[in-house]
């Protein structure tokens, strides 16, 4: 079984076209999406490439987006988008640190049975180390929600190395030690000196393997993908920015076969409470 812990799609299809179009223009000449951002396209790719389930990660770029993100996530879960979506996609929610109803919304997300949330410090204009956002992470932790955060450099934000690098991640995890935190993109190593991410490995956090294809052969990405503790490494593609089958092939080529069960599905099943 293969579970992709990091993917993006948009609903409805008209929004997908606009969202992917805007993002593609923003990173033109650096990377290009390999899908069109629609649910149907993602599901087709998953079936073609042997991905059984995918965690779908939205980002609330404004506090007011809570309602629409919730509506979309429920529509997917309840099979109102496409019968396959309800079976194959695990929608996460997003929280915005400046949402005036943050606590109420987090409790609602948890009581509705969602497993986690995505945050993105650049899009949401905060730093993981800011004491002002600590209560948000404490409430997320108290409500049993997994937090997936964009970490490290983002090709959409050239020049920025702050807010979610190793130093900021370490500061957050030391102050909220029980938080179940997934540091996306191999701990956010991109843009930092080799071994900079080592300081967060022992803080108990998870990392996903969703580095961009163009970086797969870099020494640091290879080293982290090979050495991150197997019980805390999650396969992720960042689809539609990487081809799923190639992402599977890369992780298999780097990681010992004895770890494949944990990395491709076991750890994800535990966090998503599948089969317990």
Output the smallest distance, CB 101 to Zn ion, in A.
Answer: 26
Say whether residue 49 binds Zn ion (CB under 5 A). no
Q: Which is nearer to Zn ion, 99 or 238 (CB)?
A: 238
Q: Which is nearer to Zn ion, 54 or 272 (CB)?
A: 54
CB atoms within 10 A of CB 26: 12
Say whether residue 99 binds Zn ion (CB under 5 A). no
> What is the total count of residues that contact Zn ion (CB under 5 A)?
1
Q: Are 94 and 65 in contact (CB under 8 A)?
A: yes
Per CB under 5 A, contacts with Zn ion among 210-249 are 238
Output the smallest distance, CB 169 to Zn ion, in A.
Answer: 16
Q: Which is nearer to Zn ion, 129 or 238 (CB)?
A: 238
Output the smallest distance, CB 5 to Zn ion, in A.
Answer: 10
Residues 6+ apart with CB under 8 A from 179: 137, 138, 140, 141, 147, 172, 173
Residues 6+ apart with CB under 8 A from 83: none
Residue nearest to Zn ion (CB): 238
Q: Which is nearer to Zn ion, 139 or 234 (CB)?
A: 234
CA atoms of 16 and 167, how far apart (whole Å): 34
Q: Which is nearer to Zn ion, 120 or 139 (CB)?
A: 120
Q: Are 1 and 52 in contact (CB under 8 A)?
A: yes
Output the smallest distance, CB 238 to Zn ion, in A.
Answer: 4
Output the smallest distance, CB 47 to Zn ion, in A.
Answer: 21
Per CB under 5 A, contacts with Zn ion among 59-78 are none
Dihedral of CA atoms 113, 7, 225, 203 in degrees, nearest 10, equals -40
Output the smallest distance, CB 191 to Zn ion, in A.
Answer: 15
Q: Give Cα 30 distance to the centre of its chain.
A: 21
Output the smallest distance, CB 236 to Zn ion, in A.
Answer: 8
Q: Which is nearer to Zn ion, 85 or 209 (CB)?
A: 209
Give the binding site for Zn ion (CB under 5 A): 238
């Amino acid at each position: 079984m293969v579970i992709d812990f990091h993917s993006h799609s948009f609903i409805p299809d008209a929004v997908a076209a606009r969202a992917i179009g805007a993002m593609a223009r923003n990173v033109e000449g650096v990377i290009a999406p390999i899908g069109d951002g629609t649910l149907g396209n993602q599901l087709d790719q998953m079936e073609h490439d042997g991905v059984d389930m995918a965690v779908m990660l939205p980002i609330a770029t404004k506090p007011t987006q809570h309602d629409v993100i919730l509506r979309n996530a429920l529509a997917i879960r309840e099979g109102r988008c496409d019968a396959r979506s309800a079976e194959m996609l695990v929608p996460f929610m997003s929280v915005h640190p400046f949402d005036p109803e943050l606590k109420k919304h987090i409790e609602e997300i948890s009581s509705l049975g969602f497993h986690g949330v995505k945050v993105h410090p650049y899009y949401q204009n905060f730093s993981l180390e800011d004491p002002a956002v600590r209560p948000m992470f404490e409430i997320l932790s108290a409500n049993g929600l997994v937090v997936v955060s964009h970490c490290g450099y983002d090709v959409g934000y050239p020049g920025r190395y702050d807010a979610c690098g190793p130093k900021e991640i370490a500061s957050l995890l030391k102050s909220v030690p029980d938080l179940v935190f997934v540091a996306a993109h191999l701990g956010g190593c991109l843009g930092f000196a080799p071994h900079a991410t080592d300081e967060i490995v022992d803080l108990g956090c998870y990392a996903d393997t969703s580095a961009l294809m163009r970086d797969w052969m870099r020494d640091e990405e290879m080293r982290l993908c090979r050495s991150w503790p197997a019980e805390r490494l999650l396969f992720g593609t960042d689809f539609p920015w990487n081809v799923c089958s190639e992402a599977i092939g890369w992780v298999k080529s780097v990681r010992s076969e004895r770890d494949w069960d944990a990395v491709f599905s076991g750890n994800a099943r535990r966090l998503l409470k599948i089969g317990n």
